[in-house]
Structure 1
C-alpha cells in the first residue's frame, strides 16, 4: 500500500485502512482490559466467600479447643497465628489497591485503567526499587517465612506456600532472567496489576483454608486410627454358678487419653476421678448382692454438653473359706424411723429377689426402708429364683425397739455444763440423742428452769423468758441451774419422744 505513486483516492483508502486497523487494535485492548476487570471481580467475590468459610473454621476450631484443650489447644494456637499473619498481609494489599484506584471515579470502568504509571512510579526507580517496592517484596517474603515458622519446614504445605509466595527471579521466553517484581508488575496496565494483587489475596485466603482443613483433618484421622481401639469383653453377668455357660460379647472401644469429660454422674452423684481419658472407678463393695453401675459421661461439643449414658452391674459375693460372725442381739430396727435395710443374694439379679415384711418399702436395687409400728419384732421374708430355675426361701427376725430417751443440751453439751450467767441468759436450750445411729432433727417446744431459792418457771420456746432471766439474775457463782421437763419433737415425724432428760448449768460467775 505504501509503494509506488498513488492517486489521492488510493491514499485516502490506505489511510482508512490504517485507521480501521488501529481501531481494531484499540477494541482488542479494551476487551482485554475488561476481561481483567471481570476476573478481578470474580476473585474479589471468591475472597469474600472464602473469608466467611475460614472464619467459621476458626470458630469451630476455637470451640473444639475450649471443649477439649488437650487435643485442640495447640492446633488452635497455630491457627490463630496463621490468621494474624494473613489478616495483616491481606489488609496491606487492600490499602495498596485502594491507593491505586484513588483517583479513578468509576471503579468499574476497566477500559480506563490502561495506564501503568502508578506502580511504575510506586515500585520502581530506574533499574532499582523504591522503598515501597522493597516493602512489598518484604511483605511477601515475610508472610511465607512466618507461615513456615508456624507449620514447620517439613509440613506438606511447604512447597505450595513457597510457590504461592515466591519472589525469585523469573526467566522470560527468550531465556533472559528478570527480577520478579519487574516481571510481574512493571509496565502492566493498572487493571492487570490490580487483578494480580487480588490473586495474591486469593492465595492468602486459600492457604488459610488449606492449613485449617489440614490441621483438623490430621487430628480427626488420628482419632479414628485403629491404634486407638481396644477389645472390650462384656459378659452377660458377672457371677456364675458351677456348670453355667459363660456368655457375653467382645466389642471394639476407642481409647483416647486426651479425650476428657466435662463431668461425670455416677450412680446419681457427681464423680471426679479421671486419668488419661478414663473415668477411674474407685468404689467399695459393701453388702452382698447385685450392684448397678450407671450414670452419664458428659463431653463438650460445639460449646454444648453431649451426654453419653453407661450402665453395668456386678455381684458382691461373700469371700469363700471365711467365717461369718454376727452379733445375734443386734438385729434391731427402731419404731417410727425409716430404717435402711439391704437385701440381696450372691449372684442373683435384684429382679429375681422378692422381699416382704410389714412396713417394708423398696427404694432401689437391693435397698429397702423398714418403718415398723406395733409389736416387739418383725420378720423379713426373702424368696429368690436362681439361674438354674430353683427357688430359695428364708426369713430373718428383727427386734423392734423404741427410740431411746433424748437429752437436754446447752451449747451442744449434755449433763452438767459450766458457763457464765450472762451466757445462759441468751443461749438456746436444745435436745439430742448422743451416740444414736440416726441423725434426728429435734425441736424443743418448752422447758422448766429452776434457780436455787426461786420457784420453777415454765418457758415456751428455746430461750429463757423475761421471768426466767429475772430469776437467773438472783443466782450466784457456783449455783446449779436445772433445766428439766423438756418437751421436744422430731421434725417431720409423727413419732412422740418418750422422755427428754434434764441438763444442769453450773454458773462460773
Structure 2
C-alpha cells in the first residue's frame, strides 16, 4: 500500500485483507461462508464512506484554489485531482460490474436467498475455460490504475499480484498460482465478492493518497506576508559634526507561518521568535590599502519549507575592515608587553602638517619609527609613561600598564602529530620527535617578531616500570632521532620528557631564556 501514515480505518482494512487471504486457503463450512458475507458487507460500507470522503477532498482542493485566487499552477492541480476522481469512479464501476455478473451467474433460479457457495460458477465467470474469465482483464485494469496513481504517489505498487509476488502468500502450494487462480479458484461466491470489495478498498485508498499529495501542493508557491513594519538602514551610526547622515527608509514584510533557518558563512545562526537572525562575528584583518582599509564580505542564507518544498535565498553583504590605529591624545590604549617591541602610532590631528613628534619615556626605552608618529616602546618596568613633544614643545604624556609575556605552550610532535599522553602513542611513531614552543595566539598576533620561541634543550628517558630502560639522553635543539628508543622499547614502556631550556628571540634578533617548566609522560603502545 502507498501513501502517508495509515488511519485506524485503513489499518482495519489491512487486517481484514489478511483475514480474507487466510480464509481463502481453508475448506469452509456454511458458518465461515456467512462470515465472508459479513466481511463483504463491511467492506462495501467502508468503501461507500471512503468515496464520500474522497469527493469531499476534491471539493477541498477546489476551495483552496479559489482562496488562492485561482492561480494557474493551482488550477492545474485541481484538474489533476478531478481526473483522479473520474479515473477512480470508472475503476470502482468496473469492479461493481464484475460483482453484478458474478451474482447473476451464481444465483439459483427460484430462490430469493443468496447462493453463498457456487464455486463452479465463480470459476467459470472469473477464470473461464481457457483463462478467458473476468479475473484476467481485471488484473490488467487494477495495475493500470496503480501505474496511473504512481505518477502522483511514487511509492504506489501494483494492486493485482500473482502469488509469487505477493508477500502475504506464504504457503508453498499457493506460490505457483496467478492472480486469478489465487483469488478465485475453488472460491465460494461470498469469498469472491469479498475479494472484489477488498480491491475496491485498495483503489479508494490509492485515490485518497493521491488527493492528499495534490492538496499539499495547492498554494505551495504562495507566501502570505502578514507582518509589515518600517526599517531604516544607515550608512553609519556614527557621524562627525558637519558631515551628512545618510540612511534608507523602507517597509519590511515577513510571514508568520514560515519558520526559516539561517546561516552565516555556512554556519547556523540563531533565529529569534520574530524570525530574525542575529549576525555577529569578529572582523578579521585583511589586505589593507594605503588608507588602512580592507574590503571584505559575509554571505548569509535564509531557507524555509513551504508545503514540502525547500526555498533558499542568498545574500552577500560587503563591509570594510579598518586597520586599528592608536591615537594617543587623552584616551588610554592597550597595555604593553614587557621587554617587547610595542609599536605605537601617536598622532595629533590638530597640528596637521606641522606635527613633528619626538618621544621620551620612563620605564621603557624608545625607538623612533620611519613614519611620522611611529614609536616603539620596550618596557623594563610594570608601568611606562610616554611623553610626546613636537618641535620642542611638550604636547602631553600617557601612562601605560605593562603585562608580562605569556609563556609559550610546549607541544611534543611525533610521527607528524601531537603525542597522546592519555591513550598512548605507537612506539614506531617516536622515531622522529620534535618539541615545539608555540606562542600565545593573542601575543603572536600583536607582536609576531617578539613571539619566536624555540626549545633548545630537553632530556628523554625510556622508562620501564619504575626504572629507566636506557640512560637518559640530552637533546640540544627541538628535533631528536630516537632510533635507540624505538629499538629498545616494549609495549607498556613510557617515554618521559623533561624540558630544560626554552629561548625567545625578540624583534631585534636578540635571544633570552624563558622560564618554562614542562614534562611529558607518554605511554608507548
Same fold (TM over 0.5): no
TM-score category (smaller protein) = 0.3 to 0.5
Tell me which structure has the larger Cα radius of gyration: 1
TM-score, normalisation: structure 2: 0.35
TM-score under structure 1 length normalisation: 0.36
